[in-house]
Amino acid sequence: MHLNTDPPASAGPAKLPCIRDYHDLVSTHMPDQLIKLVPLEELERFGAELVAEQPRFAEEVPIRVAGEARRRARHRTLLVGSRTPAPLTAQQAYSRA
């Protein structure tokens, strides 16, 4: 082995997200089962660590985290705080009191 004293190369301009990297990210590092169970703050921290370890996911991780945040917001509005009245039960419908 040898000591590499060359300065690290610049990252260069930001690239566009890559389908191949996104597929690898979703299937290996951030599968659906994992991101659905982890709190969003922890998911963002995990994404930042993953990008620090593997810079090739720098464009794909924010897309994955934002998609999960949208999914949670969509389900939160459907499940919590619904102001539609519940349907009447048979007892409520036929009672005259």
pLDDT tens-digit profile, the chain (97 residues): 556 676 655 555 567 888 888 999 999 999 999 999 999 999 999 999 999 999 999 999 999 999 999 999 887 765 545 566 667 777 777 776 5
Q: Strands (DSSP E) along the chain, which ranges?
A: none
**This model's pTM is above 0.75:** no
